[in-house]
A and B are shown apart, each in its own frame.
Chain A
Amino acid sequence: MPGAIYAEGLVKTFGDVRALDGVDLDVPEGTVLGLLGPNGAGKTTTVRCLTTLLRPDSGSAVVAGIDVLKHPDAVRRSIGLSGQFAAVDEYLTGRENLQMVGQLYQMKAKAAKARAVELLDQFDLADAADRPTKTYSGGMRRRLDLAAALVVSPPVMFMDEPTTGLDPRNRQLLWEVIKRLVSGGTTLLLTTQYLEEADHLAHEIAVVDHGHVIAKGTSDQLKARTGGERVEVVVHEREHIQPASEVLRGFGKGDTTVEDHMRKLTVPVTGGAKLLAEVIRELDTRGIEIDDIGLRRPTLDDVFLSLTGHLAEAKDEENGKEAVK
């Protein structure tokens, strides 16, 4: 049985750019899927297709059990969308914004009013309820935007980079909100460029690049795929890079990567702490002075790097384009 969010072979082209090149997704009810990828990978386009904002050129999608292409209006009644920008009217107060959205979800005026009060309380905006949102901080606006997406407590939620541009405190706050939401049974599709965020919130992660899902799995599964632990050494002087790399070659289970400007060497290993001690002894014997050394397990950054050949937050010329659309 397909999940609460299901997509098969979504394709969308903008002129020459193939923004989506056959995206498949399946999100079981009550879980969070983290859609991870660099700018321009197709994350936003995927969300726009699933939320009826954009019609895919081909492929099919089912959200909350409803065919997105056949019954977009019924889908709209079952979803909440919180976008990259806080889409609230800056001249309206927080309360007025929520009431309006409630009424446009076809709630009666009175019910929309009551719901607005509830949400303002829950999102810690009660004190600012009657101020135009122009006066809100970035974090408050995001919270209001999220509240607007939750007016009807939709069973399926989409959040497109909900914490981009937020300071760490506000990001933490929003994470708490999202966790509570999901513990209540909501199915959530979340896009992010922050690997940490996906690691933190998502049950399953789909890595997208160039309009494809290139890998899928839990955070641990993806990390395991990337390989095991590695030793990372930062030498004190540039001249020591060469001898240090010879030492590491003796211990490593693969090629040593060198980041010259940081005087950093990394090599995959097996053997854990015991091996680390041996590496340190050997470097010491050869008189190589080190600033830092450690045993590292792969992060999602490593996963991303090994899957796509570039970092998640890297932006290149081509990728810049889609962000504008």
Chain B
Amino acid sequence: MSSLTDAVRVAPAANPVSQSVRDSIVVAKRNLIRMSRIPEMIIYGLIQPIMFVVLFTYVFGGSMQIGSSTSAVDYKNFLMAGIFAQTVTFATASSGAGIADDMHKGLIDRFRSLPMARGAVLTGRTFADLVQTALTLVVLAVVALLVGWRIGSDGSTNAGRVLGAFGLLLLLGYAFTWIGALIGMSVRTPEAATSSGLIWLFPVTFISNAFVDTSHMTPWLRHIAEWNPFSATVQACRVLFANPGQSPSDAWPMQHPVWASLIYSVLIIVIFRTLAVRKYRSATA
């Protein structure tokens, strides 16, 4: 015990940007270790999207009209971009629950009493969730290929475009984890964060072009669906994967889906990161 008070020097504050990155990585590492010790969370996180792939493919396939086609194969190729996009947005719930759990257990207090970058606890969490999302996407893509999804089923594409599609999906998922971060900072319990993190995702992901052709919707609903930020990424993925069912709509996001997807995601990050970090600064557990 004698060395308890040995002076261990506290380094003076470094360059704020590099400190922020470094602290975020330390926190991300912590969250990744955590996730690796709760493998059932990752497994459950995979079961649901896989179930969606299988159910939608075999139950809806054949009775859905995409453009003028009712072929099950076309629906399958149409569907995957939608399922991928929906899956990445579900990371919102896990990021929200994780942060609410940290609040609940007093860890956020500990972090806030440390001389670390103010945004790093949340940024670290979103980094870790991004890694998990990437992992989920890989597994999901393999399952999709197994049930017969084909890239380039409706035209030609190349590796760069396909990677670009996955990049947009990851960016969308990352943006949504910041919404989760804000939810996590705003609710009292992890349970509340999980349910409030998921509920609103159903209308957002269903009032979109993800699972059905929007041209069959009533006009006002179609309007919402076509301007839905989520739809932009789905459309962009269909374009980049060269899959069928791209919306012919005049709506700007449907005409320029890649740009729309990028702009929407960046906007979400900027807005929700600002709000979440502000909440963190004044948090009271």
Which residues of A come within 8 Å of B, CB atoms?
48, 51-55, 73-74, 76-79, 81, 83-92, 96, 100-101, 103-108, 111, 115, 118, 122, 132, 148, 150-153, 177, 180-181, 184-186, 325
Known: A91-B37, A100-B29, A103-B23. 10 other contacts (CB 8 A): A53-B113, A53-B284, A83-B109, A104-B111, A104-B115, A104-B116, A104-B120, A115-B8, A153-B5, A325-B284
Query: Given A96-B33, A103-B26, A152-B8, A87 and B112 touching (CB < 8 A)?
Result: no
Complex CA–CA separation, A122 to B5 (angstroms): 12
| CB contact between A73 and one of B6, B105, B109, B115 (< 8 Å): that residue | B115
CB–CB A186/B5 < 8 A: yes
Check A105 against B110 for contact (C-beta < 8 Å).
no
In the assembled complex, B13 has its CB within 8 A of some CB on chain A: yes
Query: Which residues on A sit within 8 Å (CB–CB) of B107?
Result: 87-89
8 Å CB contact of B284 from A54, A81, A101: A54
Decide: A52 near B113, CB < 8 A? Known: A91-B38, A184-B5: yes
User: Nearest-CB distance from B151 to chain A (Å)?
Assistant: 38
A111 to chain B, nearest CB (A): 7
- List 5 contacting pairs A-B, 8 Å CB cutoff, sorted by A: A79-B113, A89-B30, A90-B105, A92-B30, A153-B5
Most buried by A among B6, B38, B107, B113: B113
A-B contact count (CB 8 A): 109
B34: Cβ under 8 A from any A Cβ: yes
How far does the alpha carbon of A103 sit from the alpha carbon of B11 in the complex, in Å?
11
In contact, A122 and B3 (Cβ under 8 angstroms): yes
Knowing A100-B26, A100-B30, the reply to whether A105 touches B5 (Cβ < 8 A) is no
Which residue of A has the minimal Cβ distance to B6?
A153
**Which residue of B14, B30, B282 contacts A96 across the interface (Cβ within 8 Å)?**
B30
Q: Once the chains bind, are B113 and A105 in contact (CB under 8 Å)?
A: no
- Cα distance A55–B33 in the bound complex, in angstroms: 33
- Going nearest first, the 7 A-B pairs with the smallest beta carbon separation are A184-B5, A87-B106, A76-B115, A85-B106, A87-B110, A81-B113, A77-B115
B70 at the interface (CB under 8 A from A): no
A83 to B111, CA, bound (A): 12
| CB <8 Å contact, B4 and A153 | yes
B114 at the interface (CB under 8 A from A): yes
Contact string against A for B residues 75-109, beta-carbon threshold 8 Å, 1 for contact and 0 otherwise: 00000000000000000000000000000011101
